[in-house]
Structure 1
Amino acid sequence: MSLPPGFLDELRTRVSLSQVVGRKVMWDKRKSNQGKGDMWAPCPFHHEKTASFHVDDRKGFYYCFGCHAKGDALSFIQETENVGFMEAVEILAGEAGMPMPARDPKAAQKADRRTQLIEVMEQAVQFFRLQLKTGSAGPARDYLAGRGLSPAALDRWEIGFAPDGWQNLWDHLTGKGVAPDLILAAGLAKPSDRGKNPYDVFRNRIMFPIRDARGRAIAFGGRAMDPNDNAKYLNSPETDLFDKGRSLYNHGPAREAAGREDNPLIVAEGYMDVIALSEAGFRATVAPLGTAVTEHQLHMLWRISPEPVIALDGDTAGLRAAMRVIDLALPLLEAGKGLRFAIMPAGQDPDDVIRAGGPEAVADVLAQAQPMVRLLWQRETEGKVFDSPERKAALDKELRIAISKIKDPSLKLHYGQEIKALREELFGYQPAARREWSGERSFGGGFGGKGGRGRAPWRGAAAPVLSSTKTSTLVTATPEHHAEMREAVILATLITHPCLIEEFEGELERLHPRTEDHHRICTTLITMLDEEMPTDLRADLTARIGPAPLEKLFRQSHVQIAPPMRNPHDTEKARLCISEELAKLRVAEGAETEIEDAISELSLAEDERLTWRLRQLADQRSRMGRSGDEDKADFDIGPNGARMDRDERNAFDELLGKIGFSKDQGGAS
């Protein structure tokens, strides 16, 4: 099967090599530097005790200094899983959430065409570079010299010039034998609507080649020399080579520099900012291409550095751009992946700062870069007056809405705590210090009265942690893990009792599987409802989605001990089990949402009402685990409220009957 152009590049961008390799090795914490993506471990390919296996997460390559094994994420999957190339692609695509493309018989032709387009782009690069040395480019050379660029810098950045005129590049390329359709497809010319020859896209502009991460020319950016031109900067149109929302200017060199140097990855606004910063020594600098930063570009930035610095001009437009990045980034934040913002002095861009104070001035601005939570606070409070409860409440609401976009619960809590501290600083309000653990109730009086009897022996210190607490399910498992377990039981029960699938069709469609395997199984079961149900559902599912998902599903211990697995012919027990697990899932999901909302509110303002709300939700989750319908098929409730195994009770009653006792009386019959 041939893959479409760009699919593998996209896959490698989305997948972290250290996460792929980390499933097979134990990292050497003393030698590794996770912040730089520089990881070391004993080699998984040969037996050794020293950490000679090196993973460069930013470049996406590994190398063993012992056995000399090397490659990328795909080759690692091939070697460790003993699978072919396409199977490795499917495995990684599943982890990255990328659907495998449909079979395309013309994929090879498209790849050849991309190669031809890249060759055309390289010819255009050389043409523009030569034009910069001609007499007509004098004003352009003067402008570049005025910006502090030496001839050597012009060569390093391959800067060129598109002369004024409608068909200079067109005539040059066609004269070299380049097919007209390739020139048009590369975005270098546009067809005329007047029946004439196509005309050049770039005219009378300083030209900046845009290359992808592998160094291939994919587009151009052009700065107008005419001050009256409607577009000061103009990018190539989107083509088979160029998607501006998925590209970064100076991507390849910046990625390499970020891996070698201690300087942070800087995200500037435009070409000249990137060039000025790089020439001043900040080589790990990139820029988006004529648009606000996109979600895909954010992921590309985090692949290079866990905490890029957004360096923006100190004007209104720069601040607006920063605020847009905040709204985009909040739902994508993860532990260890964030953004910092360095705002240049008012009215200046990075080039102005370098001219005025040299590289040291830029370093000072970068050193004062603010975390994103501070800029979020600035956006919601700057220029506003909070002199009434209504205005304060409105601020709390806006901040709560912003923080609720963060998906990571731990990160959301830390954001709430930081916002709370800033809020207290603004309003001059300091809550009463929390009482240290002393065995006393918060509303006064010890458990043993004023005399102190019954107080815990650890007064004034944290309560000791019991060993049973450390190993309890409450500590070791997460709500997400519990949900996955319930999903597994539901799906396994439906597969072993296919007659129930149609009955629970609606619940299946509303299910939100937590794992890729569960999602594939659930989707396939729903699809099969439109077909005649096979005699052996498990075998049919295996043929459709492969053996691995089902083997993994039925291998889990909590699935094997579920009542429907122990009694595969009891349909009623299976129905009760599915209903019970679905009900618990719904309650858990609702409780998690409520708890997250309450925590967000609690992080902004301490409130007895919110404390009560959290306590009620905790009670609700506790009752969820003791549902009145739980295991009715297996247990009866005794007079004292204890659960009794129904089969054992029936056997005991039968025995009592044989020896002359009635189960309803305590003496002999």
Structure 2
Amino acid sequence: MSLPPGFLDELRSRTSLTQVVGRKVMWDARKSNQGKGDMWAPCPFHQEKTASFHVDDRKGFYYCFGCHAKGDAIGFVKETENVSFMEAVEILAREAGMTMPARDPKAQEKADRRTQLAEVMEQAVQFFRLQLRTGAAAAARDYLAGRGLSEAALERWEIGFAPDAWQALWDHLRGKGVEEDLILAAGLAKPSTKGKKPYDTFRNRIMFPIRDARGRAIAFGGRAMDPTDNAKYLNSPETELFDKGRSLYNHGPARTAAGKGQPLIVAEGYMDVIALAEAGFGASVAPLGTAITETQLQLLWRIAPEPIIALDGDTAGLRAAMRLIDLALPLLEAGQSLRFAIMPEGLDPDDLLRAKGPQAVQAVLDQAIPMVRLLWQRETEGKNFDSPERKAALDKALREKIKLIRDPSIRQHYGQEIKDLRWQLFRPQRSAPGKSWSPGRKPSLAPLPSTKSSLLVAAGEGAEDQMREAVILAAIIAHPTIAAEFEAGIESLACIDPDHRALRDMILRVAMDTPDDLHAEIEAQLGPVPLEKLHGLRHVAITPCIRNPGDVDLAQMTVAEELAKLDAYRGLMAEVAEAVEDLGGEADEAVTWRLSQAAEARNRAMRSQQEDKAEYDLGDNGARINRDERNALDDLLGKIKFSKPHTR
């Protein structure tokens, strides 16, 4: 069976030789460098103890320095699985998600035609290069010199010029005996709609040859010299040789440079790639006038596991980055991702190089951010989250994006990173209790003589809040399954005590997703001291839901009541602060009414909100009494009361 042209090339580009070989060998961790695709192992084809079998994942070839076995992924499967060439192709195609093509009896004929087209393209490259030296190209040479390109750079990149004439290239190629059909099929000319002879696709443009990974000229990119031209940049039309969604500018040289350890940089256009490579960033590529496609993304990951997307610092550049995120999320794998380097506003890599030199570009690359951060920026930048509904909308949007990730491990890590970023956004520096609701107006009220010796006063301002917060934290830690129910209330805790603040943060970051591991996670990250201090507090130790860790209902009731009391107390303090300010002016009955209402609200909160459902009653002294025990005592007293007195 013959395969259509390009099928094997695409199969090899989609296949990781490291993964294919890794099923049969044990890699030598000391010699291998997975990040560079440079892997070593004992040879699977002959018995040996040393790692002489080398896999170059970027080039897609293996070689054994012992038995001299060599080949690509297809050859490896063929030899190790003892199958035919076509069976090996079918195995790899199935793994790569490619459909085997139908039998094509003209496959060889098509391959020969592609070879002919590539030869025609090479003739066009030479024609355009010669035209750049003519007088008609003076303006083009001045432009290129102004962009900082030397004669040597023009030669390296084979830059040329298409004359401002309708049939200059057509006449040249026809004079060389090239068939009309080949010129048209190569995308170098277009048929006339007026019955005249075909005309050149590129006219009055600086020409950039586009080569595939094997180095064959497959297309051109042309920059217009006429400022009024509608298309500043123009690519060849798609042909039998050229599929712009499956090609990268500077693919082959960038792959070689990346194999030597240079970071793979994805820029926007030809001049950016040329400028970067001339400045020492040889592993630079660009998509060809379109947004990055899935195939191009797979090509990038075949070159390097974590390409850096260098985008222009303008709105269009950022939009392109955001679109790429949605494309990449479902394709992420362990060790395979993207980083984003955003150029200063209004500049592209070429502009930055000419303005500040390679060190400025390197500084931007060093600050490249992982994809998860750009995803977060897209969903939060310029937005206000001042209401629960807006926060919920953000959470929903991020959850939908994270669901796109197929790899469960990566999905989990993205979720944790988003939680950390959310925590930073919604946890600004909190002011001390009493100041957040009335800045600068907190009253300074001295305690009455009868209360000066109380525990709360002796403990200082905010002691009551701290005691209630400690009970809430301890109850949640003892019953982490209820954390999600009280998330908003936990977020509102001020937690002046640093240990309490650390515990609060751990509850919000861990308990929502992995409640079973909360206690262990706290000890692992904070050590045992914060928990020991919390449970050592007397008012925590005597709390019923702490002494009865299996009573979830009691824990829910305790947390709900303590949060309500905190809210009521803070509301009362806010009213007091405003009343003190109002009393400085003209007082009226409204002030005393507001204070009475706030005080009553606090009194209601201080009483049990679930007395009918609770297992405990409050005694006259405020102590909790087990309801069953109290009922039993009442029954006993009733029996004693109505029983006859005993006589001798």
Query: TM-score range with shorter-chain normalisation?
Result: 0.5 to 0.7
Mark the CA change 1:443 to 1:58 in structure 2 (over 3 Å): closer, same or farther: closer
Amino acid at match of 1:145: A
Which structure 2 residues correspond to residues 140-539 of structure 1 after superposition, within 5 A? 140-261=140-261, 263-428=262-427, 442=480
**Using a 3 Å threshold, how does the CA distance of structure 1 residues 377 and 442 change in structure 2: closer, same or farther?**
closer
- Separation in 1, partners of 2:268, 2:372: 21
Q: For 1:79 and 1:603, how far apart are their aligned partners in 2?
A: 55
Aligned to 1:64: 64
Query: Structure 1: which 4+ aligned runs deviate by more than 3 Å?
Result: 429-436, 439-444, 602-608
3-state secondary structure, aligned to 2:357: helix
Mapped partners of 2:129, 2:480: distance in 1: 76
After alignment, is 167-176 or 347-356 more displaced?
A: 347-356
How many angstroms apart in 1 are the aligned matches of 2:226 and 2:420? 51
Contact 1:224/1:231 (8 A) holds in 2: yes
Alignment map for 1:29-44 (pairs within 5 Å): 29-44=29-44
Give the whole-Å Cα distance in 1 for the aligned partners of 2:46 and 2:22: 16
Q: What do you get for the CA RMSD once the two structures are aligned?
A: 2.5
Q: Which residue of 2 aligns with 1:97?
A: 97
* Deviation, structure 1 residue 91: 1.6
Using the TM superposition, give the Cα deviation of residue 605 of structure 1 relative to its aligned residue in structure 2, in angstroms. Answer: 9.3
Distance 1:71 1:150, change over 3 A: same
Amino acid at match of 2:400: I
Separation in structure 2 between the aligned mates of residue 270 and residue 8 of structure 1, nearest angstrom: 28
Task: Pick closer, same or farther for the CA change 1:342–1:2 going to 2, 3 Å.
Answer: same
Q: CA deviation at 1:74?
A: 1.1
Q: Does 1:26 align with 2:19?
A: no
* 1:389-413 residue CA offsets vs partner (Å, 9 max, x unmatched): 1111111111111111111111111
Residue deviations 1:229-253, cap 9 Å, x none?
Answer: 0000000000000000000000000
Alignment of 1:120-159 (within 5 A): 120-159=120-159
Shift of 1:611: 7.0
Alpha-carbon distance between aligned partners in 2 of 1:198 and 1:603, rounded to the nearest angstrom:
70
How much has 1:429 moved relative to structure 2?
7.1
Are residues 315 and 355 of structure 1, via their aligned partners in 2, closer, same or farther at CA, if it must alter by over 3 Å? Answer: same
Give 2:33's aligned amino acid.
N
- Inter-partner Cα distance in structure 1 for 2:509 and 2:323: 23
Structure 2 unaligned residues grouped into runs of 5+: 431-468, 483-506, 517-648
Alignment partners' CA distance in 2, 1:329 and 1:441: 39
Cα drift, residue 171 of structure 1: 0.4
Identity %: 79
CA distance in 1, matches of 2:410, 2:429: 23
- Which secondary structure does the structure 1 equivalent of 2:417 belong to? helix
1:265-322 CA deviation, whole Å, 9 max, x = no partner? 0000000000000000000000000000001100100011110000001111111111
What is the aligned partner in structure 2 of residue 638 from structure 1? none
Equivalent residues of 2:481, 2:511 under 8 A apart? no
Shift of 1:603: 9.4
Paired residues of 1:413 and 1:603 also in contact (CA < 8 A): no
Q: State the TM-score, normalizing by the size of structure 2.
A: 0.67
- AA matched with 2:115: T
Q: Decide which structure has the larger Cα Rg and report it.
A: 2
Change (3 A) 1:343 1:441: closer
Structure 2 contact 162–207 (Cα < 8 Å) conserved: yes
**1:443 Cα deviation after fit:** 8.5
Preserved CA contact (<8 Å) 1:273 1:349: yes
Is the 2:480–2:511 Cα contact (8 Å) retained in structure 1?
no
Amino acid in structure 2 at the alignment position of 1:271: Y
Distance 1:94 1:333, change over 3 A: same
- Counterpart residue identity of residue 336, structure 1: G
Give the whole-Å Cα distance in 2 for the aligned partners of 1:204 and 1:142. 14
Amino acid aligned to 1:186 = A
Offset of residue 82 of structure 1: 2.2
Following superposition, the deviation at residue 83 of structure 1 comes to 2.2
Preserved contact between residue 333 and residue 406 of structure 1 (Cα < 8 Å): yes
Paired residues, number: 453
Which amino acid counterpart does residue 327 of structure 1 have in structure 2? D
Q: Residues of 2 paired with 1:174 and 1:60: CA distance?
A: 39
Q: Which residue of 1 aligns with 2:49?
A: 49
Deviations 1:193-230 (A, max 9, x none): 00000000000000000000000000000000000000
Alpha carbons of 1:96 and 1:426: their partners in 2 closer, same or farther (altered >3 Å)? same
Letter in 1 for 2:361: V
Q: Output the amino acid matched with 1:383.
A: G
Assess if the C-alpha contact under 8 Å between 1:419 and 1:604 holds in 2.
Answer: no
